[in-house]
Structure 1
Amino acid sequence: MPVEPVGGRTAPPAPQLRAVLFDMDGTLVQTEEYWGEAMFELADALGGQMSTEARAATVGTSMRHSMQVLYADLGVVRTEEQLQADARRVEDRTGELMATAGIPWRPGARDLLADVRAAGLATALVTTTPRRLADIVLASITADLGADPFDVTVCGDEVPARKPDPAPYLQAATALGADVLSCVVVEDSLVGVTSGLAAGMAVLGVPALQPVPPARGLTLRDSLAEIGAPELAAVLAAGPAMENVGR
């Protein structure tokens, strides 16, 4: 298809979708509830009760940030050593729940992954979850699909900075050899959406446990149901790459 001249110049062609970068907890799988259960149990052990508002503020964030939110909510002061121990307790408990209670898919997630792979697109899993827990989820996903659907996996303990910093998504794109303008990020949390947008990528947001406000480059949907490679291409077409077309 010929490229139409714009303003006396030839407009650059719109980028084609080459890679899809997925968040994990709350986006592909329903494991975010396990993190919440572990946090509520820790709050009880500390002599308090975590509010639903505080819990929502921890979705998709690092363990350090989550602990700080919890402590502020309970009105307690903990040492650095205690924070590290509390974070480990939450991670260990979450791992137990993953291993015993199972790892269910989010609506539409399994079909989307299969469709993306069938379309020949590159894929990455980009999660704040540490490797030791992400591997539990990866094993479940791989067993269900019959093969590992990800070309690259980037975990929270493998990056120089965690979401909402763009570093995790930039690291994944580099590992895939993909231009950021050819990538679509799939996320459920505000920090994850912020990370993807800051990396210069188009983002499909499917909020679950916290609201995500509209933003340039962001397409919001209620779930991943009936989302496939063509819909992701439409997300890319509405994303940051199009800002440069016609300039």
Structure 2
Amino acid sequence: MTQRLLARAVLLDMDGTLVDSTAVVEKLWLEWAEPHGIDPQHVLSVVHGRQGHQSMAILLPDRDHAINVVENAEMLARESADVDGVIEIPGAGVLLAALRDAPHAIVTSADIALMTARMGAAGLTVPALTVTAESVSASKPDPEGFLKGAEALGIDPADCVVFEDSEAGVAAGLAAGMRVIGVGAHAAAHGATHVVDDLTQVSISVFDDGIEIVLP
């Protein structure tokens, strides 16, 4: 049955939502974790959707935060330099084009350099408004990033729709009081309000008084 959602703004995660960077993310994080003897499956269950220093704090809870900050900066630099295999999630380019004249923003745990590198590798245009790691004091699943995005757009959080894929990201969107469209096979398990396989299943129409989002 077709579902129609009305919104005044759309907030989009990047990794796993607009771009498929899973292979490089998992490769680099498993390389980081190996010397610490951390179980690979535990690593992969933690790192998606969060800023790197927070992932490190979860994986190595007794380690000094200052070390995590330094190693997170090194990880971001490696990720920005390695975009091999980074491609768009099917339908991402069409979705961004449809939102061109509507209030929308990227809200990502990546920093500006990494966001720019991955969006460029996927052939996607970066929206005029972005909320990146530099913009917030707390990583997803904290709702700060989404709330800042809504504030910058001048839209009430309840009138925003979030597109997310990760457990941390879905939790952040819901905590911000927003409806969340989960993207990908695992999103339903994370409690997203609605779920699509990819963005080809999403249709966007922009009107003077808002945005209509049509889902299968």
Are 2:30 and 2:43, in contact at CA under 8 Å, matched by a contact in 1? no
Task: Name stretches of at least 5 consecutive residues in structure 2 with no aligned partner.
Answer: 206-210
Of stretches 53-62 and 164-173 in structure 1, the one that deviates more from structure 2 is 53-62
Structure 2 residue 22 is the aligned partner of structure 1 residue 32: yes
Is 1:204 the counterpart of 2:191 in the alignment?
Answer: no
Change (3 A) 1:134 1:213: closer
1:219: which partner in 2? 194
The aligned runs of 1:1-247 (5 Å cut-off) are 16-44=6-34, 46=35, 48=37, 50-71=39-60, 78-98=63-83, 101=84, 103-117=86-100, 120-140=101-121, 144=123, 148=125, 150-207=127-184, 212-214=189-191, 218-229=193-204, 233-234=213-214
CA distance in 1 between partners of 2:110 and 2:64 (Å) = 23
| Cα distance in 2 between the residues matched to 1:30 and 1:63 | 18
Shift in alpha-carbon separation, 1:201–1:79, aligned structure 2, 3 A: closer
Aligned residue identity for 1:53: H
Deviation at 1:184, TM superposition (A): 0.9
Q: Which has the higher contact order (CA 8 A, sep 6+)?
A: 2
Give TM-score scaled by structure 1 length.
0.72
**CA RMSD after TM alignment:** 2.6
Q: Which has the higher strand share?
A: 2
Q: CA deviation at 1:26?
A: 1.0
Aligned equivalents of 2:86, 2:32: Cα separation in 1: 22
Counterpart CA distance in 2 for 1:161 and 1:68 is: 13
Q: Percent identity?
A: 33
**Alignment match, 1:3:** none
* CA apart distance, 1:208: 5.4
TM-score normalised per structure 2: 0.82
Q: Which structure 1 segments of 5+ residues have no match?
A: 1-14, 236-247
